[in-house]
Amino acid sequence: MAGTYIDDFKEGQVDISPGRTITETDVVTYSWVSGDVNPMHTDAEFAAKSPIGARIAHGTLGMSVATGLSAQIGGLIGTAIAAIGVYDWEFKAPIFIGDTVTLHATVVEAKISTSKPDRGVLTRRMDLYNQHGKIVQTGLMKTMVKSRAADAKTK
Protein backbone atom coordinates (compact mmCIF):
# COMPACT_ATOMS: atom_id res chain seq x y z
CA MET A 1 0.00 0.00 0.00
CA ALA A 2 1.41 3.37 -0.97
CA GLY A 3 1.46 6.07 1.65
CA THR A 4 0.20 9.62 1.43
CA TYR A 5 2.63 12.41 0.59
CA ILE A 6 2.89 15.47 2.83
CA ASP A 7 1.39 17.47 -0.06
CA ASP A 8 -1.87 15.55 0.19
CA PHE A 9 -2.69 15.84 3.89
CA LYS A 10 -5.34 18.46 4.71
CA GLU A 11 -5.68 20.36 7.97
CA GLY A 12 -8.64 19.03 9.91
CA GLN A 13 -8.54 15.65 8.16
CA VAL A 14 -9.45 12.89 10.63
CA ASP A 15 -8.44 9.27 10.13
CA ILE A 16 -9.88 6.59 12.41
CA SER A 17 -8.16 3.29 13.09
CA PRO A 18 -9.70 -0.10 13.63
CA GLY A 19 -10.16 -1.12 17.26
CA ARG A 20 -7.55 -2.96 19.31
CA THR A 21 -8.31 -4.82 22.54
CA ILE A 22 -5.65 -4.55 25.23
CA THR A 23 -4.97 -8.05 26.56
CA GLU A 24 -3.35 -9.63 29.58
CA THR A 25 -0.57 -10.76 27.25
CA ASP A 26 0.02 -7.18 26.10
CA VAL A 27 0.48 -5.95 29.66
CA VAL A 28 2.64 -8.87 30.82
CA THR A 29 4.85 -8.69 27.72
CA TYR A 30 5.22 -4.92 28.01
CA SER A 31 6.20 -5.31 31.68
CA TRP A 32 8.92 -7.73 30.64
CA VAL A 33 10.17 -5.68 27.68
CA SER A 34 10.15 -2.34 29.51
CA GLY A 35 11.25 -3.59 32.92
CA ASP A 36 8.32 -1.72 34.48
CA VAL A 37 6.91 -4.20 36.95
CA ASN A 38 4.88 -1.73 39.00
CA PRO A 39 2.24 -3.78 40.85
CA MET A 40 -0.53 -1.68 39.28
CA HIS A 41 0.32 -3.62 36.11
CA THR A 42 1.48 -6.95 37.50
CA ASP A 43 -0.35 -7.71 40.76
CA ALA A 44 -4.13 -8.18 40.63
CA GLU A 45 -4.52 -8.22 44.44
CA PHE A 46 -2.48 -5.04 44.91
CA ALA A 47 -4.32 -3.24 42.09
CA ALA A 48 -7.72 -4.33 43.43
CA LYS A 49 -6.96 -2.51 46.70
CA SER A 50 -5.78 0.65 44.91
CA PRO A 51 -7.93 3.72 44.22
CA ILE A 52 -8.31 2.54 40.60
CA GLY A 53 -9.48 -0.90 41.71
CA ALA A 54 -7.97 -3.08 38.98
CA ARG A 55 -4.81 -3.68 37.00
CA ILE A 56 -4.13 -1.15 34.26
CA ALA A 57 -2.00 -1.04 31.15
CA HIS A 58 1.20 0.99 31.27
CA GLY A 59 0.67 4.54 30.03
CA THR A 60 3.48 4.10 27.54
CA LEU A 61 1.91 0.85 26.33
CA GLY A 62 -1.13 2.92 25.35
CA MET A 63 1.15 5.36 23.53
CA SER A 64 2.85 2.47 21.73
CA VAL A 65 -0.52 1.02 20.72
CA ALA A 66 -1.47 4.47 19.38
CA THR A 67 1.57 4.42 17.08
CA GLY A 68 0.63 0.93 15.90
CA LEU A 69 -2.95 1.97 15.23
CA SER A 70 -1.60 4.95 13.32
CA ALA A 71 0.37 2.55 11.12
CA GLN A 72 -2.80 0.48 10.57
CA ILE A 73 -4.55 3.56 9.21
CA GLY A 74 -1.99 3.22 6.42
CA GLY A 75 -1.44 6.84 5.46
CA LEU A 76 2.30 6.81 6.05
CA ILE A 77 3.37 3.39 4.80
CA GLY A 78 6.15 4.06 2.31
CA THR A 79 6.18 7.83 2.78
CA ALA A 80 7.14 8.27 6.45
CA ILE A 81 10.83 9.09 6.85
CA ALA A 82 11.15 9.39 10.62
CA ALA A 83 9.29 10.16 13.81
CA ILE A 84 10.28 13.62 14.99
CA GLY A 85 8.66 13.84 18.37
CA VAL A 86 5.76 13.48 20.75
CA TYR A 87 4.47 16.61 22.46
CA ASP A 88 1.99 17.42 25.20
CA TRP A 89 1.05 13.76 25.69
CA GLU A 90 -1.53 13.29 28.43
CA PHE A 91 -2.77 10.17 30.15
CA LYS A 92 -6.40 11.18 30.73
CA ALA A 93 -7.85 7.91 32.04
CA PRO A 94 -6.62 4.39 32.75
CA ILE A 95 -6.64 1.70 30.11
CA PHE A 96 -7.82 -1.56 31.65
CA ILE A 97 -7.10 -5.08 30.48
CA GLY A 98 -10.00 -5.87 28.14
CA ASP A 99 -10.52 -2.29 26.94
CA THR A 100 -10.76 -1.81 23.19
CA VAL A 101 -9.08 1.37 21.98
CA THR A 102 -9.41 3.28 18.72
CA LEU A 103 -7.20 6.07 17.44
CA HIS A 104 -8.53 9.28 15.91
CA ALA A 105 -5.63 11.05 14.15
CA THR A 106 -6.41 14.67 13.21
CA VAL A 107 -4.09 16.63 10.93
CA VAL A 108 -3.09 19.85 12.69
CA GLU A 109 -0.48 20.90 10.14
CA ALA A 110 1.14 19.45 7.00
CA LYS A 111 3.97 21.66 5.85
CA ILE A 112 6.58 21.10 3.13
CA SER A 113 10.08 22.14 4.19
CA THR A 114 11.39 25.25 2.46
CA SER A 115 15.01 24.12 2.82
CA LYS A 116 14.37 20.50 1.76
CA PRO A 117 11.31 20.43 -0.53
CA ASP A 118 11.50 16.64 -0.90
CA ARG A 119 9.97 16.32 2.59
CA GLY A 120 7.83 18.01 5.18
CA VAL A 121 6.50 17.77 8.70
CA LEU A 122 3.11 16.27 9.52
CA THR A 123 1.68 17.22 12.91
CA ARG A 124 -1.32 15.22 14.11
CA ARG A 125 -3.40 15.26 17.29
CA MET A 126 -3.66 11.67 18.40
CA ASP A 127 -6.73 10.90 20.49
CA LEU A 128 -6.93 7.36 21.84
CA TYR A 129 -10.51 6.45 22.78
CA ASN A 130 -11.77 3.50 24.80
CA GLN A 131 -14.89 1.52 23.95
CA HIS A 132 -17.01 3.93 25.99
CA GLY A 133 -16.06 6.89 23.78
CA LYS A 134 -13.78 8.41 26.43
CA ILE A 135 -10.39 9.82 25.48
CA VAL A 136 -7.83 7.88 27.52
CA GLN A 137 -4.71 9.44 25.96
CA THR A 138 -4.07 12.45 23.76
CA GLY A 139 -1.14 14.37 22.38
CA LEU A 140 0.67 15.58 19.30
CA MET A 141 2.94 13.48 17.13
CA LYS A 142 5.19 14.91 14.45
CA THR A 143 6.46 12.84 11.55
CA MET A 144 8.82 13.67 8.70
CA VAL A 145 7.05 12.66 5.48
CA LYS A 146 8.16 12.53 1.84
CA SER A 147 6.74 15.04 -0.61
CA ARG A 148 5.79 14.32 -4.20
CA ALA A 149 9.03 16.09 -5.18
CA ALA A 150 11.03 13.28 -3.48
CA ASP A 151 9.69 10.63 -5.84
CA ALA A 152 9.72 12.96 -8.85
CA LYS A 153 13.49 13.47 -8.57
CA THR A 154 14.15 9.68 -8.40
CA LYS A 155 12.38 9.02 -11.70
Give the model confidence (pLDDT) of 74-104 as tens digits.
889 899 999 999 999 999 999 999 999 999 9
Using alpha carbons only, what angle is made at residue 14 by residues 11 and 16, rounded to the nearest 5 degrees?
160
CATH code: domain of residue 33:
3.10.129.10
Instruction: Tell me if 1 is assigned to some domain.
Output: no
Domain of residue 34 covers 6-153
> Could you give the number of structural domains in the chain?
1
Residue 147 is assigned to a structural domain of this protein: yes
In 3D space, the residue among 7, 30, 37, 32 whose CA is nearest the CA of residue 111 turns out to be 7
> Does residue 153 have a pLDDT over 70?
no
Q: Which of 73-77, 95-99, 143-147, 151-155 has the lowest mean pLDDT?
A: 151-155
